[in-house]
Amino acid sequence: MGLTRPLPGEYAEGYASYLAGAPEGDPLLLLHAQLEELTTLYAGLSEAQGAYRYAPGKWSLKDLLQHLSDSERIFAYRCLRIGRGDATPLPGFDENAFAAAASAEARSLAALSADFRAARQASLELFRSLPDAAWGQHGTSNGRALTARCVPYICMGHVAHHLAVIRERYLVESK
């Protein structure tokens, strides 16, 4: 079984877009490469650029990076619970309430990047530690069914989605 791309029956339709956004290949190597891509992109920004919002009421680039760290931790927690066979339905979270409470603007881009790096590295260690049997465990998160195997791909697809938003709406190019 192992950590392979999930099949359609392993997840609710609500996760399909994030799973589709995850490229083909070794998911652990791709997650690591994505970590390097994101942190390199942010390393090239000034603090003023980090505070940029492409429209009133939208997140700044700092807010977005904090959101990615928060989401990464939540996704990893879901994977841990489901992978350990805990069938307790797991709640969703209000990303806008989290962003408002996080005060990302008070943090430096370097601190926010280091935070994402730590969160992603912790996810990678968790994913490496799970035995093959864990990946097929079924659970429910945010009212939607999924297996533990879906979570690394959701992590990857979620960040890929936001990288596309950064390029399209914030006009920031990856190096």
Question: Which of 106, 31, 99, 33 minimizes the C-alpha distance to 66?
Answer: 99
Q: How many domains, the chain?
A: 1
* Rounded Cα distance, 64 and 72, in Å: 12
The pLDDT value recorded for residue 146 is 96
The pLDDT value recorded for residue 174 is 55
Answer whether residue 93 is part of any domain: yes
The pLDDT value recorded for residue 82 is 98
Written as six digits, the tokens of 159 are: 């960040």
Answer whether residue 106 is part of any domain: yes
Answer whether residue 33 is part of any domain: yes
Answer whether residue 5 is part of any domain: no
24: CATH = 1.20.120.450
The answer to whether the Cα torsion of 144, 145, 146, 147 is positive or negative is positive
Answer whether residue 34 is part of any domain: yes
For residue range 25-65, what is the model confidence (pLDDT) as tens digits? 999 999 999 999 999 999 999 999 999 999 999 999 999 99
Mean pLDDT in consecutive groups of 10 residues from the start of the chain, 175 residues: 87 93 95 98 96 96 98 98 97 96 97 98 98 97 96 97 95 65
Answer whether residue 29 is part of any domain: yes
Whether residue 38 contacts residue 159, with contact meaning beta carbons closer than 8 Å, is answered with yes
Answer whether residue 135 is part of any domain: yes
Q: What is the CA radius of gyration of the chain?
A: 16
The pLDDT value recorded for residue 159 is 98
Q: Which domain holds residue 73?
A: 14-169
Answer whether residue 63 is part of any domain: yes
Whether residue 168 contacts residue 117, with contact meaning beta carbons closer than 8 Å, is answered with no
